[in-house]
Amino acid sequence: MKKIIGIILPLILIFHCSVSVLGTSQEYGAIYCRNSSHLKQVALTFDDGPHPRYTKEILSILDEFNVTATFFIIGVNAERYPEDLKRIVNAGCEIGNHTYSHTRLSQLSSKQVRWEIERCQTVVQNLVGIRPVFFRPPQGAASESVKTVSREMEYDIILWSIDTRDWELTPSAQIAATVLSQLKGGDIILMHDYVSGGNTTCDALRIIIPEILSRGYEFVTVSDLID
């Protein structure tokens, strides 16, 4: 299988994320993009890692400001950089499943979708002893087969309400302006710790984290946000 590491295609959102919570039943397979009932909490999320340089740098920034985040892991990257996966866990951050190879799930059969999720799950469990409970499909494309498999595998699907588009190497000031102009209670902010060709995410974090804290918000994990 071709291993796709940190290459992000244009994001395709099946669901409009102005809605607070989609699918709030007690069953697995709920789809979340924000939770407006948490008026002063937001969740930072990072996709596609771990990365041998930027994951560590992001964790250092989070530690500097004493905040936490949720990292959606690509299995093949975890295999290549297991120590960086362990750093995420040791920092007290949350781990989510982002498939094994970051392939476009809409082009796969249900069996292949299950394999992608299971393989990433197995890698994470073997390396850090954690079984993720959240799944984020690549490009946010939650097709019917993805929803069905996620429910059967007892995963909830996590999308987002603020897209920083840092995967495009958007200038850090522009990322900050996007986040701070859109910010509302219960937001899930999409960022990346693995982007091919560079990184503007770290500089953006140094702008947005202190400003968000100054507005009286608390950074929490996805688990805490949707609780």
Q: Percent of the chain at pLDDT above 70?
A: 89
Does 153 map to a domain?
Answer: yes
Does 98 map to a domain?
Answer: yes
CA distance 37 to 16: 18
Does 53 map to a domain?
Answer: yes
Domain that holds residue 47: 33-226
Does 26 map to a domain?
Answer: no
**Domain CATH for 56:** 3.20.20.370
Pairing of β 41-47 and β 70-73: parallel
How sure is the predictor about 196, in pLDDT bands with cuts at 50, 70 and 90? Answer: confident
Does 203 map to a domain?
Answer: yes
The tens digit of pLDDT for each residue in 76-135 reads 999 999 999 999 999 999 999 999 999 989 889 999 999 999 999 999 999 999 999 999
Weakest mean pLDDT among 20-24, 119-123, 167-171: 20-24
Domain count, the chain: 1
CA distance 15 to 76: 27
Q: What pLDDT does 35 receive?
A: 95
DSSP β-bridge partners for residue 94: 70
In the predicted model, what is the mean pLDDT of residues 18-47? 78
Q: Supply the residues annotated as catalytic.
A: 47, 192
Enter the pTM of the model.
0.90
Does 20 map to a domain?
Answer: no
Q: What pLDDT does 39 receive?
A: 93
Query: Quick check: bond before 82 cis, omega within 30?
Result: no
Q: What pLDDT does 18 receive?
A: 34
CA distance 217 to 212: 6
Q: Is the dihedral of CA 203, 58, 189, 72 positive or negative?
A: positive
CA distance 201 to 136: 19
Does 74 map to a domain?
Answer: yes
Pairing of β 21-22 and β 31-32: antiparallel
Does 86 map to a domain?
Answer: yes
How sure is the predictor about 24, in pLDDT bands with cuts at 50, 70 and 90? Answer: very low
Q: What pLDDT does 40 receive?
A: 96
